[in-house]
Amino acid sequence: MAKIVLNEKGKIFLQAVKGFLIPNHYAFACFVQAYHETGAFKSIIGKWNLWGIKKSQKWTGDIVLAKTTEFINGVKTPTTAWFVDFPTCQDAIKWWDALIQRLYKDAYDSRTDYKKFFEHLVDKQPDYAGDPDFQYATDPLYVTKLLRVANELKGLYLSGQGG
């Protein structure tokens, strides 16, 4: 397997997430998810939106309009949407952590096991607006993809070097 080398934003994120999130498996899950969502930190929305977090009604910070893909009724559909634009890497990590704690309790409670964390991240659950089908990702292969990325990134993450 080819050696993975992170770009500058990926290196900054790797160091920030390892310093902020505890336990280590939770930080690793956050890193894997950000790596996957951004295509190896090459497609970050705005300054630091690493997870494709869309603007909510309560968000009062900066936003950016961006192209995205959603799975609608199982069909991969290109669309555009307004996304949160986090000013710093640390702000993004803090917001992601709060989002997981608030909306994905089973995932957060499984944060010591990144595999279970990923599985619970896509559990359907009512959101704060009452949508009964609310879930983190619409891609039916999301967990499989995250686990594949996790296997590829373990060595890089543990070394902390980023390439």
Cα of first residue to Cα of last residue in the chain, in angstroms, is 14
pLDDT at 125: 60
For the stretch 43-93, pLDDT in tens is 999 999 999 888 988 899 999 999 988 888 888 899 999 999 999 999 999
pLDDT at 68: 87
As a whole number of angstroms, the distance between CA 115 and CA 144 comes to 10
With beta carbons less than 8 A apart as the criterion, state whether 110 and 120 touch.
Answer: yes
pLDDT at 126: 57
Question: Is residue 131 predicted with pLDDT exceeding 70?
Answer: no
Distances 159 to 17, 25, 34, 154 between C-alpha atoms, Å: 14, 14, 18, 9
Question: Which residue in this structure is represented by tokens 């702000």?
Answer: 91
Q: Where are the domains of the chain?
A: 8-159
With beta carbons less than 8 A apart as the criterion, state whether 148 and 118 touch.
Answer: no
For the stretch 21-50, pLDDT in tens is 777 889 999 999 999 999 999 999 999 999
Please name the amino acid found at residue 67.
Answer: K
* Mean pLDDT of all residues in 99-103: 89
CA-angle at 52, arms to 110 and 49, nearest 5°: 95
pLDDT at 13: 95
Task: Note the pTM of the prediction, 2 decimals.
Answer: 0.86
Pick the CATH number of 8-159 from 1.10.530.10, 1.10.1040.10, 2.60.40.10, 3.40.640.10: 1.10.530.10
As a whole number of angstroms, the distance between CA 115 and CA 138 comes to 18
